[in-house]
Each structure stands twice: as structure tokens, then as C-alpha cells.
Amino acid sequence: MASFLEVKNISKAFDGVQALEDVSMAINAGAIHCLVGENGSGKSTLIKIIGGVLKPDKGEIRIDGKLFRPGRAIDSIRRGIQIIYQDLSLFPNLTAAENISLNQLIEKGNKFISEKNVIKTSEKALMEIEEECDLFAKVENLSMSKRQIVAISRALTQNARLIIMDEPTSAITKAEIDHLFSVIMRLQAKGIATLFVSHKLGEVFEIAENVTILRDGRKIGDYAAGELDNDKLTFLMTGQKIVSTPYVRDPENLADANLLEVKNLSRKGHYRNITFAIKRGDILGITGLIGSGRTELALSLFGLNRPDSGEIVLEGRSVEINSAEEAIKLGVGYLPEDRLLQGLFVEKSIGSNIVVTIVAKLLNRLKLISGAKRQRVEYDWIDKLKIKTPSAALPASSLSGGNQQRVVLAKWLATNLKLFVLDGPTIGIDIASKSNIHDIIRDFAGEGVGIILISDEIPEVLQHCNRALVMREGRIAAAIEDITRVSESDIFDMATAQNVDQVR
């Protein structure tokens, strides 16, 4: 099959730092090609060069065998290359139809745009991929899955021949991922190629025909998907063998008394009749579809979503947690799902983010922050969690996703935690960083901290928890006391059963 796109010997540096060096890749017409690599491997730089957003320092791009030198993003769009970034780049205050059609109508130079043409253009794009969507609904009111359909449909209105999807599954459920893959297959049937960028290796094997692997700005190789398995791909991406063994709580060194008991906790519209207990050293996984109530429950345990009824018992004492401040005083920490908006002050220094939860401990006799104490704590945690930075004074925004997550972990681990609630702790993080974060979580569980790990990645729950709850429609659908006795498909069936009572 002839190549639609070829990039040859592409190199790019930023301020002397080599982002890409001598990278080549070819994508055939109608192919489903995956681009994988750790954070910082050069994936984003490469797709921005293909999309005309960045210019390479050297190398060339060819489309249909002819030299192509994009000066702007619109040049790539006109040649059939569309990039759907992780944030989808949609206008939330406009309707689905307006988002789908306006780019094409503006490109045509239409001075007057009629609603009839907007709807007609949108319907035609949706028909191409055999999809439906409420065209009059504002995008902000659509599910993430439907927003992706809008973004794909928009690409089709501009005669896309290659659609680049950057981490398209980071915020959708397994059922929505399956649906997205069916759309990609329909695009392929029409001769439209897809370049799929993902951290989730299971998805790579499920959808890819060919895989290009980057590491530290260099291409490691091109492989047919059938040549790879999880271990081989992990090694090629990271340069190291990462071994994961099931987590086992150590009953000999940890007391058997319950650290936390949750009794019939309910909040109208969020969750109801939630009952469970965890011991010191437990890593209790909570999984379920998005909207199952798991995040709302986590917020209640941290004092940010007050329950209507029920009881929380911590170390044998009934407690009411009505604020984050009260939660911290009780030894409860919370790592939120969105680290950038909720977990970090991204423009503040790395050090400030680490010590923000323990400022009172850093005061001297004059009630002023001791610079020596502060610096000692900052660099102690930077060292303990292997946060890669030349200085604690740099802003948190300067760090990679994995290092940002380590900073969020550090600020809570510095508080002498008893209970740590982690909501999606490895979302958007590469394999090596995930492994490191899982090791940190296990280490603190081994020291007697009770961990609640919320994840929509069932393999993460199976590999790093000793017990699990499956939530559906605000209720506990199943409580699994021995994680080794269930499979991924078992848990998925529990999470998607039509009736919660089917699996209780």
C-alpha cells in the first residue's frame, strides 16, 4: 500500500534541548498507526511538525510522494491532515452543528452563514461515519464521547485523509473507547488513516496495525502490532524491564483493627447506602464507569461533599468531616483527578506546592516561616520521590505530568497521613512514572497508611490493590475481598450490569 505521509530524518531542538533527532515515519493511506513513547519522548513535537504548527530544524515531509513544506497549520489542513488534540479544541458555548461546520464554511469564505447550511454540512459529516448527535445541543452539555464525534465530524468536513488523535481515551469509559474504535474502523473503510497516540498499551494492541516507538527524541523502531506484546513494548519505550506483582497487605506488621468504617453513607443524586471498611496497609480499589459516584464519594471523605446521612468512623471514633481543613487535621489526604486544576498551584514554585499543607510546622518562634526548615523539607521530598528538577524554585508548570503528580503526592505524604484517597493517580502519565508512583503508594501502605485508589483502569486495580469495590449508579455493585480471585472481564461485567442487584 502506498504511503500517504512520510516524514524523513526530522530533527527539532528547543533552546539547545534536542526534542527530536533524525526521526522518520511513514503512514499508509487508510492505515491505523500508533505512535507511542514516554512523556518527553518527542511525540507531541512530531505531530505538531506534521500539523504545520512547528517547523523542523532539518528533515522533510512528503505527501503522496511530493515534498511538502507547511508554513502554518492551515497548510496541513488543506492537504488533508487534521489533529484532534486531547482538549478537542471545541467551542463549548456553540452547538454541535456549529462546531462541526463553521471551519469549513469560514474556509470557503462565506460572508453569510445560514442555519440550514450549518445543519446540512453537519448531517453529511455524521452520515459519513454512521453516527448520531443532537446537533442543536451546546457542546458543553455533551458527553466526552459525543464531543469526540463532533471533533471527528469537523475533521471530515475539511476532507481529512489523516486524522491524528492525541490521547483520545484519557477521559472516556471502556464502552466509549470501544465505540471510538468502531468509528476509527469506519474511517479506515473510507480510506482515511488514523495516527493514534496513547499511553494505554492495551488499546495500542487492540486498534493498531503498525506502531512507531519514540524514546528520548529518537525513533526506536517501527513494528507490526503482532510483533509486540506488553512486556516487549514497555521495554522498548522505557529501556527497562518493569515487573508488576500483586499487592499483598502484611498482616504480621499491621494491626487488624479497622482504620476507617463507612456506614450507610448517602448523598442524594450522588451515591447511596455506601458501606465498607479498610485497615491500615489496605489498598482498596474503587472502580466503575464515569458517573458511578466514586469521585463524589471521595470528595465526601475529604470534607468537600457533605453526605446527607450515614456515618464515617475513623480509628474507632465517629467523625464529621465538613471541610478539607478538618480532613487534614484528622490525617486524611486527597489527590484529585485533575492535578492541574485541583491539585497544584501550577505557577507557584515546586517547593511551595510541597510545603503548602504543612506551613504551620515550618514556623519559628517569631511565627515566621523558617527558610532553613522549608528548604530542608522541600529537597527531602524532591529526593525521596525522585522529582526531576534542577531547583525547587522552578514553577510546577515546568514539570512533566509524572513529576507534577509526585509533587501532589509529596504535599500529602509530608502531613503524616492516616488515610490517603487517590482519584485517578496515574491519569495521563507514562509507564515508567506510573510504576514509580505505584511503588510510592505501596511503600506508604506498607508503613500503615490506609489507601483508597480510585481508577477506571481495571488492570491498575487488579495489579495494585488487595481489595476492591465496584460502583454503579451510586451504589456498591460488588465488594471483592480477594482481588486475586477475579479477572478484568469479571470486574467489567460487574460495573456494566443492568441491575446492581445482579452482582451483589
- Tens-place pLDDT, residues 265-281: 999 999 999 999 999 99
Please state, rounded to an integer, the average pLDDT across all residues of the chain.
Answer: 88
Average pLDDT over residues 211-235: 92
Say what the pLDDT of residue 503 is.
41
Count CB atoms within 10 A of the CB of residue 366. Answer: 7
pLDDT of residue 341: 64
Stretch 385-404: mean pLDDT: 84
Residue 254: predicted pLDDT: 79
Q: Determine contact, residues 186/154, Cβ cutoff 8 Å.
A: no
Rounded mean pLDDT, 167-194: 86
Condensed to tens digits (0 to 9), the pLDDT of residues 420-452 reads 999 988 877 777 778 888 988 998 899 899 999
Query: Are 95 and 135 within 8 A, CB to CB?
Result: yes
| Residues 77-97, mean pLDDT to the nearest whole number | 90
Range with lowest mean pLDDT among 24-38, 175-189, 214-228, 350-364:
350-364
pLDDT in tens, 467-484: 999 999 999 999 999 998
Q: Specify the pLDDT at position 504.
A: 41
What backbone torsions phi and psi does residue 101 show, to the nearest 5 degrees? -100, -25
Running DSSP on this structure, what letter comes out for residue 426?
T
Catalogue all structural domains in the chain, each as residue range(s) with its CATH number: 3-238 (3.40.50.300), 258-331+416-502 (3.40.50.300)
What pLDDT was estimated at residue 382? 87
Q: Determine the pLDDT at residue 35.
A: 95
Residue range 157-182: mean pLDDT, rounded: 85
Per-residue b or e along 191-215, where b marks 16 or more CB atoms closer than 10 Å to that residue's CB: ebbbbbbbbbbebbbebbebbbbbb
Q: Taking residues 253-263, what's their average pLDDT?
A: 89
Kindly tell me if the per-residue pLDDT of 108 is higher than 70: no
pLDDT at 381: 83
What's the confidence (pLDDT) of residue 110? 63
- Does the pLDDT at position 167 exceed 90? no
The confidence score (pLDDT) of residue 502 equals 41
Say what the pLDDT of residue 433 is.
78
Q: Give the pairing of strands 193-197 and 32-36.
A: parallel
Residue type, position 36, single letter = V
pLDDT of residue 434: 82
pLDDT over threshold 60, residue 224: yes
Q: Are the CB atoms for 288 and 495 separated by under 8 Å?
A: yes
Nearest to 438 by CA among 285, 324, 289: 285
Report which of residues 472 and 170 the model is more confident about: 472
Percent of the chain past pLDDT 90, that is, above it, reads 51
Q: Please tell me the pTM assigned to this model.
A: 0.70
Specify whether the CB–CB gap between 216 and 236 falls below 8 A.
no
Give me the sheet containing 450-454, strands edge to edge. Answer: 332-335, 419-423, 450-454, 283-288, 467-472, 475-480
Residues 450-461 have pLDDT tens digits of 999 999 888 889
pLDDT the model gives residue 342: 67
Q: Cite the beta strand spans of 368-466 per DSSP E.
A: 419-423, 450-454
